[in-house]
Structure 1
Amino acid sequence: MRKLQNTLYITTDCYLHLDGENVVVSKDGDIVGRVPLHNLESIVTTGYTGASPALMGACAQKNIDLCFLSRSGKFLARIVGETKGNVILRQEQYKKFTDSEFSISVSKNMIRGKIYNSRWILERYTRDAPLRVNVSRLKEKSKMIAEIFMKIDQVTSANQLLGIEGSAAKNYFSVFGELILNQKNTFQFVERNRRPPLDPTNALLSFCYSLLCTMCMSAIECCGLDPYIGVYHVERPGRPSLALDLMEELRPVMVDRFVLNLINTRRLKAKDFLKKEDGAVLLTDEGRKKLFLSWQNRKKEEIQHPYLKQKVPWGLIPYVQAKLLASYVREDLDGYPPFFWK
């Protein structure tokens, strides 16, 4: 277990239960940790042993997120209490999200943010590491992505937008491996794969995308919106469509850059991964500990928000974007402003 800021991370197979006002962590019958609930905003566990109903009930009552992830970082479930969001806001959300014109306008801005941010990751590497990357190839792909970006204005349907997003992603990930500057033998990247990830780089991307999805779900809930009713991702039972929508523009800047930094600074190495018989690659317990520590430190770093023009910690960016979306739903804004990083 590891407590970072107001989040308790459980990285090994432990059982969580309630003792008074404390969450108790037990492993093989022995107590390995005890943390007061009033110190926590969320609990994230990657263990399979589980949690007691009493603890789940206490977390729901005290508005403490209890999130369950698989060992690979896939989001499994989240225990939340009674929804207390603004019912008027949710009514507006349900009404407007069924309006194709409204939905496509929000979706286009979210994908604008994703494509723009992906392109600038490539541009930053040509500037910051010109002697270690193939500048001409990255510039070529950046130009192609910029041309794809300009086509968004002509989009009139979700299917067209999906095609544009896929084309941009194909160009972006075709050179993603060239951004890995160190440990190239361990962290080779040929293509994006998942369910399961088949190499360490994809394992990191998948795990961190799950963490980002959890952050986006919490942000949306806090703003009074329904995370299961989206504008871009199709609704399916149990699928947090709006959280998946919101994280699109944040994937490159909050996950891809973070993963590249973990690799290039050698904070994670080959020993932090294991390969299963079916070919799936997972983080070890120690690897997850290192990742969680770096993830929390990253969330504390500040950035100038491009729309608010104020310094905001990275960890609050999903909350800011969710607030802006809620403002657009309430018609306090003329449009949804995507997060453009540069």
Structure 2
Amino acid sequence: MLSEPNFAARKIVMIHANQGEKMTFSNDNLVIKNKAGKIILQYTCHRIFIIYIVGGFSVTTGLIERGRRFGISFVFLTGGYKFYESIPYKSRGNTMLVRRQYNTDIDFEISQIIVKNKILNQKKALQSLRNNNDGVELLNNSILKLNEPIRNLSTLMGIEGTAAKVYFNRIFNIVDWKGRQPRVKRDITNLLLDIGYTVLFNYIDALVSMYGFDTYKGNLHQEFYNRKSLICDLVEPFRIIIDCKIRKMYNLRQISEENFICQKGRYMVNYQSSINYGTEFAREINRHSICIFRYIQGYYRWFMTSDDINKMPIVEVIKNDID
């Protein structure tokens, strides 16, 4: 497991194989070249945490060996930034931790804290905007409901859903927002949310895997075949990192319809786009890396040593200038 100073020195690397970029290793350095063969990045493997590879790519034994040697996780995305595989660097055999995951009797209490933490961060995001007192007050009402006894998951998810509608309608009030629809890609904003959440999800997955959790055993999100329910849980308080980044990009006029293609009502990023949106999201996540690390580390330590739900860590995502 990485210490905080060690983790702070590690960065995200994103390679766009769909744009002709190629990756090689020279001694203990990662070298990335563009389509013309010019070196665009050379970075020591000792300071890489995760590598995202966008587009078709051949995996070699050398790649896997270096991942294990330097503690690097690899995530493979399609040209449209859809996840299709990962090779996480993970701790194996933490049987005590996995046993606690399956034997805990406070799943619902953990779920309630996660939802409350998510709404608290959504509230802070709205507080950073102008003329959103009504939205803040509505989220306060949701938080108050979470302080009361809740008997079932459907009630909890109802509170979360109501808060999400309030939040999204205000955080994206600068665009023609019609509602959040995951994976449908009905508009540019929903597409960018899907891309950003995918990058964020796999970043947290790589970090959680280092501790040896069974990432398929969740609390808030129930177990479905081949779904990493625990990562779905732990990503919730951090979603505002992506939301606020997208809003800021709109305000800075970094998002242009010319960078996207719409086919049969579904939007996708133009490969020749003037901006690599995945890279932008990776940089934003890097800015919050210590905040994320401390939360996951704190969650692990709490889960291993305590059943006191009142001591479960709460994360306050570092405020961004989102206006």
TM bucket normalised to smaller: 0.7 to 0.9
1:1-342 alignment runs, 5 A limit: 6-13=11-18, 14=20, 16=23, 31=37, 33=39, 35=42, 37-81=45-89, 83-84=91-92, 86-96=94-104, 99=105, 102-126=106-130, 135=131, 138-152=132-146, 153-178=148-173, 180=174, 187-252=175-240, 254-271=241-258, 273-285=259-271, 286=273, 289=276, 292-293=279-280, 295-296=282-283, 299-300=286-287, 314-332=288-306, 334-335=308-309, 336-341=312-317
What letter matches 2:222 in structure 1? Answer: V
What letter matches 1:69 in structure 2? Answer: L
Quote the Cα distance in structure 1 between the aligned partners of 2:238 and 2:11.
22
Look up the SS of the partner of 2:14 in the other structure.
strand
Quote the Cα distance in structure 2 between the aligned partners of 1:51 and 1:17.
12
Q: Unaligned stretches of 5+ in structure 2?
A: 1-8
CA contact (8 A) 1:60 1:80 kept: no
Quote the Cα distance in structure 2 between the aligned partners of 1:38 and 1:120.
35
What letter matches 1:289 in structure 2? Answer: N
Q: Relative to structure 1, is the Cα distance of residues 288 and 155 closer, same or farther in structure 2, using a 3 angstrom cutoff?
A: farther
What letter matches 1:92 in structure 2? Answer: R
Residue 308 (structure 1) aligns with: none
What letter matches 2:269 in structure 1? Answer: L
CA contact (8 A) 2:54 2:77 kept: yes
Look up the SS of the partner of 1:125 in the other structure.
coil
Structure 1 residue 209 displacement after superposition: 0.8
Structure 1 residue 111 displacement after superposition: 0.3
Q: Unaligned stretches of 5+ in structure 1?
A: 127-134, 181-186, 301-313
Number of aligned residues: 302
TM-score by length of 1: 0.77
Q: Relative to structure 1, is the Cα distance of residues 8 and 121 closer, same or farther in structure 2, using a 3 angstrom cutoff?
A: closer
Structure 1 residue 199 displacement after superposition: 1.8
Q: Relative to structure 1, is the Cα distance of residues 142 and 6 closer, same or farther in structure 2, using a 3 angstrom cutoff?
A: closer
Look up the SS of the partner of 1:323 in the other structure.
helix
What letter matches 1:339 in structure 2? Answer: V
Look up the SS of the partner of 2:222 in the other structure.
coil
Kindly provide the CA deviation profile for residues 23-66 of structure 1, in whole angstroms up to 9, marking residues without a partner as x. 565777x7555755445332101112443344234324542111
CA contact (8 A) 2:53 2:75 kept: yes
Structure 1 residue 76 displacement after superposition: 2.3
CA contact (8 A) 2:77 2:83 kept: yes
Q: Relative to structure 1, is the Cα distance of residues 259 and 63 closer, same or farther in structure 2, using a 3 angstrom cutoff?
A: same
Look up the SS of the partner of 2:76 in the other structure.
strand
Q: Relative to structure 1, is the Cα distance of residues 79 and 331 closer, same or farther in structure 2, using a 3 angstrom cutoff?
A: same
Structure 1 residue 225 displacement after superposition: 2.2
Look up the SS of the partner of 2:235 in the other structure.
helix
CA contact (8 A) 2:245 2:284 kept: no
CA contact (8 A) 2:81 2:195 kept: yes
What letter matches 2:303 in structure 1? Answer: V
CA contact (8 A) 1:74 1:207 kept: yes
Kindly provide the CA deviation profile for residues 67-120 of structure 1, in whole angstroms up to 9, marking residues without a partner as x. 012334333221135633643222222221xx2xx1111111110011122123
TM-score by length of 2: 0.81
Kindly provide the CA deviation profile for residues 143-174 of structure 1, in whole angstroms up to 9, marking residues without a partner as x. 22221221122212222211111111122223
Q: Relative to structure 1, is the Cα distance of residues 288 and 95 closer, same or farther in structure 2, using a 3 angstrom cutoff?
A: farther
CA contact (8 A) 1:219 1:319 kept: yes
What letter matches 2:289 in structure 1? Answer: G
Q: Relative to structure 1, is the Cα distance of residues 315 and 52 closer, same or farther in structure 2, using a 3 angstrom cutoff?
A: same
**Stretch moving more, 31-40 or 83-92:** 31-40
CA contact (8 A) 1:89 1:330 kept: yes
Identity of aligned residues (%): 22
